[in-house]
Amino acid sequence: MVVQLALQITALIRLYRTPRDRIVFDRKWPWVLIILLVNMVGAIVFLIAGRRPAAVDDSATAHRAEGDSVRRTVQSLYGEDDRS
């Protein structure tokens, strides 16, 4: 009973903190009902399949050349090189 209560509380907290656009069904209230009424199984289903992964913004790194990235890394580690 303690495990079930802890799992439901954890699922409800994660539901509250998850933005609406990442929720499957695009609404939170069906998940509240599923978590509370389907007991432990509802909380497990939400934690496993109820949330979509967060979007990753690769636009800034996709346009950089590999040599430019290496050059900036070397500069950040060793400072500017005046010999070039």
Burial annotation 22-34 (CB, 10 A radius, 16+ → b, else e)? ebeeeeeeebbeb
Q: Would you list the DSSP string of 1-21?
A: -HHHHHHHHHHHHHHHHS-GG
How confident is the model over 62-80, as pLDDT tens digits? 555 555 777 778 888 887 7
Q: Report pTM.
A: 0.58
Q: What is the pLDDT of residues 16-62, one digit of tens each?
A: 998 888 888 888 899 899 888 888 888 888 888 887 777 766 665 55
User: Residue 65 has what pLDDT?
Assistant: 52
User: What pLDDT is stored for residue 52 in this prediction?
Assistant: 76
Per-residue pLDDT, 40:
82
Predicted confidence (pLDDT) at residue 84 exceeds the cutoff of 60? no
Phi, psi dihedral angles at 23 (to 5 degrees): -90, 135
